Amino acid sequence: MKKLIFAVLLAFSTTACFKNSDINIDPNRSTSVDPALLFSGAATQFSLLRVAELTWPVALMNQMWASGGRWGLAQAQYDQTRVRSAWGRTYTDVLKNLAVAVDIAQSAQPVNKNAVAQCKILMAFAYAQTSLLWGDIPFTEAATGKVDFPKFDKQQDVLNGCVAMIDEALAMIDPAGKGIIAPNDLYYGGDMTKWRKFANSLKMRILFSMVDADASKGAAIGQLMASGNMISSNADAMLFKYFNQPGRQNPRFSFTAIFRGGVQSDWYCSKPVYNLLVSLKDPRIPYFYQPGPAAAANEYIALDPVETYTTKSALVNMNLLKADLPEVSFSYSEQLLFEAEAIARGFAPGGFEAATTRMRAGVRESLLSFGVPAAEANTYANGLPALNAANFKTVLAQQQYLDLFMRPVEGWVQHRRSGAIGQEIPAMTTPTGAPVAGLVRRLLYRSEEVSSNPNTPAGITLDTPQWFDK
Amino acid sequence: MKKSLLFLLLSCMAVLTRAQTRTVSGKVTLPENEDAPGVNVLVKGSNVGTATKADGTYQINVPAKGGTLVFSFIGYKTKEMEVGNQSTINLSLEPDLVNLSEVVVTANAIVREKKELGYAVSTVGGVELTKARDPNLLNSLAGKVAGVRISQQSGTVGGSSRVMIRGANSISSASEPLFVVDGIPISNSSFNNSETDIVTGGVDVGNRAGDLNPDDIESMTVLKGAAASALYGSRARNGVIVITTKRGKTGAKKMNVTVNSSYRSDNVLRAPELQEQYAQGNLGVYNPQLGNGWGPKVSSITGPIKDYKGADVQGLQVYPQNWKNFFVTGHTAINSVSLDGANDQGDFRIGYTNLRQTGTVPGSEMNRNTFAINAGKKITDKLTARAWANYVRTTSDGRPQQGSNTTNIIATILAGTPITVDINELRDNLFAPSTQAVPTGWTGDLARSIDLNGVQNNPYFVTAFNRFSNTVDRVFGGTSLSYDVAPWFNVTGRVGTDFFTENRRSVTRRGTRGRLNGQFDTNDIFERELQTDVLGTVTRKISQNWGFKGIIGHQFNQRTIRRSRVQSEGLNIDQLYTFANAQSNVPSNFFSRREIFGVYGDFSFDYKNYLFLNVTGRNDWSSTLPVDNNSYFYPSASASFVLTEAFPNLGIVKKDILSYAKFRANYANVGSDEDPYQLSFTYNPLTQASDIYTFNILYPIGGASAFGATNILPPTNLRPQQQTSYEFGAELKFFGGRLGLDMTYYKTLNYDQIISIAVPQSTGYSARRLNVGEISNRGLEAMLTVTPVRTRSGARWDMAFNFNRNINRVESLAPGLQEFIVTSGDGFGIFIAARPGETFNIQGVGWLRDPNGNIIINPTTGLRTPGPRKLLGPIYPDWTLGINNSFSYKGFDFNFLVDIRKGGVINSQTVSIVRGSGLAAETAVNDRTPFIDPGVIRNADGTFRPNDKTVASVQQYWSQLDNSVSPENNIFDGSYSKLREVRLAYNFPKSLVNKTPFGSIALGLEGRNLWIITSNVPHIDPEANVLGTGLIGEGLERGSIPSSRTIGANLRVTF
């Protein structure tokens, strides 16, 4: 009996090793993946950040919209706590996954060139956006997991790098071949011709953000204009679609639905924008705004950034916050207005007449996109002053800013590049109670990055201009 | 190791002989002339023994000549009686006020005398637990055991309670102790531990240790240190709560029947103190669209006006008690019956308990049925078999949501309910009147709102329709077979399991503001733990003075978790919660399994019964570690020395000044493994994309599914985690036990922890998993007992002071890492942070201050300015003290327990909300005259002058103090003192009971959580915590259901 028991004990103890066992192989996750699946995740996350977390805080601190103090006045006073996850999610959920997808597509046999191109174009978009929000950012050493403390690259290096990345992508595009297709390509369904147009347009947008600080980019813009192949119709626009289905709705709609029981009571009409619209007799007013619940029909009462709302305060129109509106990454009107600017500034030939034509076309498209009837849009566009050397900066900048009314990320870039410090169009003043004297010119690095990456630049304040901001 | 043990076993062998016998019988009584059932009667120097029956009688075989009988009974002095020629021996036992012979159930159901143990243990007996029965057993431990801190998380019916023994041992997981029932580990999971779940309206679903039924429990022993981990494995490093269930006992009759009935009522202990003057509005202007108290004085509103429903009224009325009136009285009925019996051949016990509880939140309820069986049988002289099983079925419905970010949070709704709203009108009218704002395009029933804007739901609509329900079916138990190979050698095999399924469903009705189209969440959880043990025990006298006890064993442990969840949104038909009726269903599932093989040895030596030495060793092989590095050994050693037995002739001992003195010391090292599946680079199927506003985009979107690469860089060269600890202690009793002191000093160091350490997010990853970080705890536990009154007539007054001071410190993090976020309350604007040299702190944005610490005021607004993030205070208390007074006289037993906590902070967002909404009483003082906030203003030259700027309005002042701007003003000193428990019990005297059909009758009255004597936190119970039991951290409160004051009565009879 004793012997038996000892034998049993010894036998038990030798079984315990887990050699050749599959018990610790994760049944919930995979060790391999198709890059298309990484792309759709990265694209959805990227769009969500643009349309939600990077919309309201940016729109409020830049006076594109007014908060009415609905969530406290800090919103308009450059409160950074409302942009908490965009930095991290852009790197971990967008850029990292795209980088991994590129690696997988590149090591496929044969190389999935179109997939590489699609991922790189989106990466360039995301890096440029991140830099234009924060300034110097990790780029060359970022999102690989190989460098523990990525260095912060200068903004000009990041933006030049983005242009180079787009060029690499363009070189790999094969319109006849297959890359990431529907449903995983949520933008263009795998149409590589459209991807090429978007890549060129995106490149132009990045160059425009640089040209005030680096005049040589004017020539590059001219070359792009000459070779064409950019977005040339509404069908080419870069859009991320949302659907009127639960969980797939545009978050701008869900926000009101979740927090406000479906009644818009958060985003108010901001004075600098409203005053500009009034001065231009712009027909977009009733399309941008809806009167407050206690206001008369067509009574639009705008708010200063730190003014508390009343029941008469006008609100951002619920029609612009619909469940199935897409997130716009690049629109046709934006393209036309860029082209007008390129011509007006002499980067491309044609002179002010051609620039005026292009501007009026762009403004018409812009008005149509907000729902203004065609006749009214035509009248307004045609009534805009012809561009000349004296007025083109102001007239174009006004229209470019208004065109981006629902796109605060691009709207903020447009505002900062619209004039020298203090001369931006439209004019704005620092909100009462803001922690700095000037207008907000950047986001502050997130505490997660500051506390874990010793390379994070210090001593930068909210009104320190970025390199591009001249 | 094993070979040397075998050698030892063989060298200890001896031969036993048998002798002729005769019979002795008699009766044992207690001083109160009561019968003494269950007294152990042993023939000295032999294995022959029996126990007295319910009437105190016994019968035992003794050697033909001479012999001595030893009578022992817990709580009474052991008595030795020479048999001589007597055939009848009657005796009365005397109470042992020094409790020398207390036995303790330690690891693996091994019973030991307390004096043998070289580490600190505390036992709470079952009687203690059933006199005042709390639905969550853990709450009965509060304030009673040194070194153990119990915190009730909320006033939710069936809510959870958190246990922490000797401080936090990890910066990556909650340091919950291991629960063991009859030698088998059981689960104390809560599956409520995701941060997102908690931020966005989590429900306190309770913790699984709450399934334990106090009526089935014989005793609870708390092993505070890691010394017992050789036998239980790594999880014992956070301490062990060893629970022994009741077995059948020998009684006067073949079967004992016990009936125990309790009734309790619960009321909200503390409701926020609200103002009773101001209507809803903004800056003193009335506005029925808002849910707050920032309007004008209600008395100043005259003439035609719209109320919150949009109805035209001539004026408004104040309803000051809305908050209090919303909550109702909860009722709890606990009824249990048990049958038990035993004889020489075996024992059995069957118990059934029914618990029905309704909570203070209207419509919340819980029902629990527990069946327990425990039966043992002596199959032969040498072979004993035992089987035990507990089946628990818990159903609950209507548990309220806590946290933020949904419109279902009751406490948040109440904190926004204007005082002009009649809560009874809300109760009687759940749906929106036609005059209230309706979202564009909405048709169908819609919740009435407390504001004309239509933002916040009627709280009664929420409790009536948006209900969380769950059902838990759980079985735990085991079987064992024990064989006496020789009188000195026993082999026991044991198999046990604990498994449960939990089905949860949370529904939100169509028409709920914020979730207009309705949704529901279905969550099925299965968890199982399986453990087998084979152990051999040798008990031998090595020589006349030296004794030996050795155990070697083998253990296999497997833990499995399976979850599946479907999140459904958009209901076509109202209140039909089927997947087919939802416009969107997002399913997800999860499976995890881990295994451990362990081999262990535990060797004890004793010298003359006053010096005890114990060494243990264990080697584990874990499935979760890298195959090449999955084996780890960990040892422990302890010693105990009973001075008073070693030197009984010392003067102070002889005079009974020093009645008992024991000193103990131990050292232990514990290795431990890691969570499963952490070793490879993986791609996760995604169910959703999210941002901080929680508008999750669900996959598939536009037909596209999605994957993401892991955000945690997998580890390389992972090693087991380590803990070393030592403790020293002394148990001293003076003056025959009238004064006692039991104190322990301990120090624990945890290192090589396996943690996901944050890396810069710009790397593309949020964390890297590696061995890093050290965290230590050192502390003092002291239990002082005093008996100021003890008379011959039986009157007695006992006081027990139960003191605990623990110093928790993060010794180091990864090189270069200044801070580790232990738990992110990002949605609350605060974090629980670990920084080297500090304990866990609440971290958040603090006010800008001048070098002297004065708050810097913005000269244009007169308001405070948010500054950088900083540590806002430690989450754990400096010390805690429980003071128990008990008085007993002639069957009456009265005691009360005061619980004191000193230090630590709490962040209350409920306070932030009631102040920010202008409903808190303090927002109405001085007729809301604007004032100057004490602080300083920065001069142009960098110097400071006292603030002279009056705030524009009181509303702006309180709004600026909102948690999202800076939590600093909502951080409070967490010190408090509470009247935790008051109990009055009466045991009817035998003389009276004998005239009834009953064997005994006991009546009890009890009150729990009765009175917050002192607190520095306004508006709420300072104990609240929204993080539940699964996350590290305490001191965060948001929208918590207020805790309850409980009053109850209990009747216990035996037949």
Mean pLDDT of the B1031-1039 span: 80
The answer to whether residue A309 scores a pLDDT higher than 80 is yes
pLDDT tier, B277 (very low <50, low <70, confident <90, very high otherwise): very high
The answer to whether residue A345 scores a pLDDT higher than 50 is yes
Q: Does B580 touch chain A (CB under 8 A)?
A: no
CA distance A15 to B545: 40
B-chain CB neighbours of A50 within 8 Å are: none
In sequence order, what are the residues at sequence separation of 6 or more whose Cβ sits closer than 8 angstroms to the Cβ of residue B132? Answer: B140, B981, B983, B1004, B1006, B1008, B1048, B1050
Our CA-based measurement puts residue A97 at a distance from the nearest CA of chain B, in whole angstroms, of 6
CB contact under 8 Å between A84 and B826, yes or no, is yes
The answer to whether residue B418 scores a pLDDT higher than 90 is yes
pLDDT tier, A277 (very low <50, low <70, confident <90, very high otherwise): very high
pLDDT, tens digit, 9 for 90 and up, residues B63-113:
777 788 888 876 677 788 888 888 888 888 876 655 545 666 665 556 677
For an interface test with A, the pick among B761, B772, B856, B861 (most A C-beta atoms closer than 10 Å) comes out as B761
User: What is the dihedral sign for C-alpha B849, B854, B860, B865?
Assistant: positive
Hey, what domains does chain A have and what are their CATH numbers?
34-241+326-330+434-470 (1.25.40.390), 251-321 (no CATH), 331-428 (1.20.120)
Q: Which residue of B has its CA nearest to A322?
A: B440
Q: Which of residues 280-309 of A touch B (CB under 8 A)?
A: 293, 308
Q: Does A26 touch chain B (CB under 8 A)?
A: yes
What is the pLDDT at residue B221?
Answer: 87
Our CA-based measurement puts residue A132 at a distance from the nearest CA of chain B, in whole angstroms, of 16
Q: Are B568 and A229 in contact (CB under 8 A)?
A: no
Our CA-based measurement puts residue B267 at a distance from the nearest CA of chain A, in whole angstroms, of 31
CB contact under 8 Å between B589 and A28, yes or no, is yes
CB contact under 8 Å between A148 and B706, yes or no, is no
Q: Does B2 touch chain A (CB under 8 A)?
A: yes
pLDDT tier, B4 (very low <50, low <70, confident <90, very high otherwise): very low
B-chain CB neighbours of A100 within 8 Å are: 709
Q: How many residues does chain A have?
A: 470
- Lowest average pLDDT, out of A9-18, A256-265, B223-232, B438-447, goes to A9-18
| Max avg pLDDT among A363-377, B443-457, B537-551 | A363-377
CB contact under 8 Å between B677 and A25, yes or no, is yes
Fill in the amino acid letter for B339.
L
Mean pLDDT of the B801-817 span: 90
Hey, what domains does chain B have and what are their CATH numbers?
2-96 (2.60.40.1120), 131-267+331-402+463-679+714-840+875-904+975-1054 (2.40.170.20)
Q: Does B435 touch chain A (CB under 8 A)?
A: no
Average pLDDT of chain A to the nearest whole number: 93
B-chain CB neighbours of A93 within 8 Å are: 689, 708, 711
What is the pLDDT at residue A227?
Answer: 95
Instruction: Report which of A158, A190, A160, A196 is spatially closest to residue A177, judged by C-alpha positions.
Output: A190
Alpha-carbon separation of residue B845 from B164, B810, B865, B966, B1022 (angstroms): 28, 22, 10, 5, 22
pLDDT, tens digit, 9 for 90 and up, residues B469-489:
999 999 999 999 999 999 899
3-state SS of B999-1017?
Answer: CEEEEEEEEEEEEEEEECC
What is the pLDDT at residue B254?
Answer: 79
Mean pLDDT of the B863-889 span: 92
Q: Are B1004 and B982 in contact (CB under 8 A)?
A: no
Mean pLDDT of the B793-818 span: 90
A-chain CB neighbours of B455 within 8 Å are: 259-261, 263, 265
List the single residue in A48, A93, A259 with the smallest CB-CB distance to B514.
Answer: A259
CA distance B216 to B735: 36
What is the pLDDT at residue B751?
Answer: 93
Q: Is B121 exposed, middle or buried (0-12, 13-18, 19+ CB in 10 A)?
A: buried
pLDDT tier, B12 (very low <50, low <70, confident <90, very high otherwise): very low
Mean pLDDT of the B671-690 span: 92
pLDDT, tens digit, 9 for 90 and up, residues B232-276:
888 888 889 989 899 888 776 778 899 999 999 999 999 999 999
Our CA-based measurement puts residue B691 at a distance from the nearest CA of chain A, in whole angstroms, of 6
Pick the residue with more confidence: A181 or B215? Answer: A181
CA distance B657 to B654: 8
For an interface test with A, the pick among B535, B561, B586, B763 (most A C-beta atoms closer than 10 Å) comes out as B763
B-chain CB neighbours of A79 within 8 Å are: 965
The answer to whether residue B1013 scores a pLDDT higher than 80 is yes
Beta strand pairing call for B658-672 and B631-642: antiparallel
Q: Which of residues 332-351 of A touch B (CB under 8 A)?
A: none
pLDDT, tens digit, 9 for 90 and up, residues B519-540:
999 999 999 999 999 999 999 8
CB contact under 8 Å between A449 and B761, yes or no, is yes
Mean pLDDT of the A86-102 span: 97
What is the pLDDT at residue B19?
Answer: 44
Residue whose structure tokens are 């270069």: B816
Q: Sheet holding B971-973: strands in order across? A: B971-973, B905-908, B1036-1037
The answer to whether residue A213 scores a pLDDT higher than 60 is yes
pLDDT tier, A138 (very low <50, low <70, confident <90, very high otherwise): very high
Residue A268 backbone dihedrals phi, psi, to 5 degrees: -110, 170
CB contact under 8 Å between B442 and A24, yes or no, is no
Pick the residue with more confidence: B176 or B559? Answer: B559
What is the pLDDT at residue A1?
Answer: 47
CA distance A228 to A226: 6
Our CA-based measurement puts residue A332 at a distance from the nearest CA of chain B, in whole angstroms, of 23
A-chain CB neighbours of B692 within 8 Å are: 53, 82, 84-85
The answer to whether residue A410 scores a pLDDT higher than 90 is yes
Q: Does A3 touch chain B (CB under 8 A)?
A: no
What is the pLDDT at residue B201?
Answer: 60
What is the pLDDT at residue B96?
Answer: 64
What is the pLDDT at residue A303?
Answer: 96
pLDDT, tens digit, 9 for 90 and up, residues A14-34:
444 788 788 999 999 999 999
- Lowest average pLDDT, out of A146-150, B24-28, B567-571, B820-824, goes to B820-824
CB contact under 8 Å between B704 and A261, yes or no, is no
Q: Does A429 touch chain B (CB under 8 A)?
A: no
The answer to whether residue B731 scores a pLDDT higher than 90 is yes
What is the pLDDT at residue B9?
Answer: 37
A-chain CB neighbours of B688 within 8 Å are: 247
The answer to whether residue A459 scores a pLDDT higher than 80 is yes
Average pLDDT of chain B to the nearest whole number: 87
For an interface test with B, the pick among A46, A96, A141, A186 (most B C-beta atoms closer than 10 Å) comes out as A96
Residue B775 backbone dihedrals phi, psi, to 5 degrees: -140, 140
Alpha carbon B405 to its chain centroid, in Å, reads: 27
Task: Report cis status (omega within 30 of 0) of the bond before A110.
Answer: yes
pLDDT tier, B827 (very low <50, low <70, confident <90, very high otherwise): low
List the single residue in A2, A41, A245 with the smallest CB-CB distance to B708.
Answer: A41
What is the pLDDT at residue A360?
Answer: 98
pLDDT tier, B159 (very low <50, low <70, confident <90, very high otherwise): confident
What is the pLDDT at residue B16?
Answer: 34
pLDDT tier, B18 (very low <50, low <70, confident <90, very high otherwise): very low
What is the pLDDT at residue A336?
Answer: 98
Q: Are B617 and B609 in contact (CB under 8 A)?
A: no
Alpha carbon A292 to its chain centroid, in Å, reads: 29
In sequence order, what are the residues at sequence separation of 6 or more whose Cβ sits closer than 8 angstroms to the Cβ of residue B11? Answer: none
Q: Does A96 touch chain B (CB under 8 A)?
A: yes
pTM to 2 decimal places: 0.85
Q: Does B627 touch chain A (CB under 8 A)?
A: yes
Beta-ladder partners of B821: B833
Q: Does B698 touch chain A (CB under 8 A)?
A: yes
Q: Does A448 touch chain B (CB under 8 A)?
A: yes
Q: Are B155 and B173 in contact (CB under 8 A)?
A: no
CA distance B681 to B703: 27
List the single residue in B289, B591, B759 with the smallest CB-CB distance to A28.
Answer: B591
pLDDT tier, B490 (very low <50, low <70, confident <90, very high otherwise): very high
Tokens of B80: 């030795």
CB contact under 8 Å between B597 and A258, yes or no, is no
In sequence order, what are the residues at sequence separation of 6 or more whose Cβ sits closer than 8 angstroms to the Cβ of residue B742? Answer: B120, B146, B729, B730, B731, B732, B782, B783, B785
